[in-house]
Amino acid sequence: MARGQTVDQMIAKTLVSLIILGTFACMAARPVLAEPLHELPLESWKQLREVERYQLQIAEKYYRDQDYKVAAAEYEKFLSLYEESVGAPHAQLRWSLAQVQLRKQNTAIKEGFQSVIDYWPESQQAIAAKFYMGRTYKEIGRVAEAKKTLRALVKDHPAHQVAVQAIEQLIDITTIENDIPSRVEWWKKLTFDTPRNRDSQNVCIQASQQLAVYQFREAAFDEGVKALATTYEAARLPFQVAAYVREPIAEQMRADESKAKGLKLAQQAIAYLKSSAAIDESTPEGKAAAKQLAQSVIDLLAASQQKTEVPAAYEALIKRFGADDEALGRLAQWYKSQDDWDTARTTYKRFASQVDGLMNVAYSYREQQNPEQAITTYQQALGVDPMQGVKVKPELAITYRQLGKWMEAVATYEQLVRDDVANANRWRWEVGCTFRDAGQHAQAIGHFRQCDNFPENYKQMAWCYRQLKQPAEAITLYSQVASDAGSAPWAMLQIAYTREEAGQTEPAIQAFQLVCKKFPKDGHASQAHAHLQTKYKISVTLGGAAEE
């Protein structure tokens, strides 16, 4: 390293992480992450002399504060004073990372990471330096050197936590180069060959999921199951197979040329699930698992477009486990996906909860842009059980609003204010919004004023005053909104627009400029800046004065 060298500031870069496929729970909880490679172990801190520890802590503070230029100088000072210290390789490594952050990647590689490797080859920092060197090569586009460095690291230190991180970088390179065969090989290494511990577990789990999806897409169903079996216990494995195979099936069914492949994959998956169905149903938990497995089979039938099989499978499920609204709802949803709305509504009417069934029927009419019939159906639901009005009336009111029946919507919300006292403020807000949408701004203001959700109610009141051409009242309210720190930039920008609408050109310009001055890093300042340039041909430096 060239000590005493000048450096500049940069934006910190982050590692590229693997894309997580699926959201299903894994067999084990997420582990605590290991100590980062660039941190000095506690035992090493204990071995430092007091003067060494003091100097290193100064450098560490600046590094944590992202003042990399000063941090680099302090690490360099440490090295010049305590070159034989146990903390020296760490200081050299951190100096190198500071160079990366300061956009001096080549300096970091040649004079930083390489120095760690050359002067302290047996240290843990030397292993870390090889990793950071490979990652830095990748980040500056020197992919060949990156691959060589990272591959050597994996080969030389297969049991070290750095090997997993190096493989992550190599997988990212395969994405850059569209090198699918290499990517699959790295997935296999993580899935089958890498010991799973607190450092590697999450990465290995993700690799097993990604490998399984790839194998399913390539019609290697059994191989996909093997990949998932490394992550999930036997009792949960069938459910995870169903979860991860569904999208590959659906993808293949979308194109005529791959439909046969998709159908075959579905048949393999369904056969696998049925062969795994030996579940003890004598307990509630076992019965629920068996039902979930049967539902998974139906989901794959639907994904593979086996339209004649789906209704029969649902009816068999209902016969086996008893009718329930969840299964009927899924069946009805499937009918809607097939554009069979009448059969879907008939299915909803089979619900044990008649009110819930009718509400779903009503919503289906809304989906088909038939609000009149939806209103009639919601009213039927109210007639079945008036005590469930708190559930039905919000949907009824929304439908009235969609149809432009403003007063009917207001009346419905007013009933909710009385009937649902715990949420009265919510329904009062909806009354205000209904009047606002109806263009009855004076009435809207009165209801927003009764709400207690500051600053949102003040924002709406101010907007209504603007529609009523009463800018002074709007500005007063926006000024009060500005007392809320999170809303201040937005509120001050609205003051500027309000003055502009009122023809107050000079005060409007001053208000836009004030937004730029007070909130230079906020997006609203950028909006004000652009507006000043576009409309008034005034250039303003964000956070500074106007420019001629």
Which CATH number covers residue 62? 1.25.40.10
Which long-range CB contacts under 8 A does 492-498 form with residues at least 24 apart? 492/518, 492/519, 492/524, 493/524, 493/527, 493/528, 494/462, 496/528, 496/531, 498/462, 498/466, 498/471, 498/474
What does the longest C-alpha to C-alpha distance in the chain come to?
87
CA-wise closest residue to 200 among 345, 328, 31: 31
Residue with tokens 């919004």: 433
Tens-digit pLDDT string for the chain (548 aa): 444 333 233 323 322 232 233 333 333 333 333 457 778 888 888 999 999 999 999 999 999 999 999 999 999 999 999 999 999 999 999 999 999 999 999 999 999 999 999 999 999 999 999 999 999 999 999 999 999 999 999 999 998 989 999 999 999 999 999 999 999 999 999 999 999 998 899 999 999 999 999 999 999 999 999 999 999 999 999 999 999 999 999 999 999 999 999 999 999 999 999 998 678 888 999 999 999 999 999 999 999 999 999 999 999 999 999 889 999 999 999 999 999 999 999 999 999 999 999 999 999 999 999 999 999 999 999 999 999 999 999 999 999 999 999 999 999 999 999 999 999 999 999 999 999 999 999 999 999 999 999 999 999 999 999 999 999 999 999 999 999 999 999 999 999 999 999 999 999 999 999 999 999 999 999 999 999 999 999 988 776 544 33
In a domain, 473, yes or no: no
In a domain, 522, yes or no: no
| C-alpha to C-alpha distance for 16 and 4, rounded to whole angstroms | 32
8 Å CB contact between 132 and 97: yes
| C-alpha to C-alpha distance for 464 and 539, rounded to whole angstroms | 32
In a domain, 44, yes or no: yes
In a domain, 426, yes or no: no
Q: Where are the alpha helices (DSSP H) in 349-455?
A: 354-367, 371-384, 389-403, 406-419, 424-437, 441-449
Predicted pLDDT of residue 548 = 34
Collect all residues with Cβ–Cβ distance below 8 Å to 270 and sequence separation of at least 6.
297, 300, 301
CA-wise closest residue to 382 among 401, 400, 362, 398: 362
Q: Nearest 5°: CA angle at 179, between 175 and 185?
A: 100
Question: Within the chain, how many helices (H) and strands (E) appear?
Answer: 29, 2
CA-wise closest residue to 96 among 84, 86, 105: 105
Q: Nearest 5°: CA angle at 516, between 514 and 521?
A: 135
In a domain, 136, yes or no: yes
Number of domains the chain contains: 1
Q: Nearest 5°: CA angle at 10, between 8 and 11?
A: 170
Predicted pLDDT of residue 279 = 82
Q: Report DSSP state, residue 426.
A: H
Neighbours of 66 (CB within 10 A): 13
Predicted pLDDT of residue 16 = 28
pTM summary value: 0.73
Q: What domain range is 118 assigned to? A: 1-193
Predicted pLDDT of residue 226 = 98
In a domain, 397, yes or no: no
In a domain, 352, yes or no: no
In a domain, 124, yes or no: yes
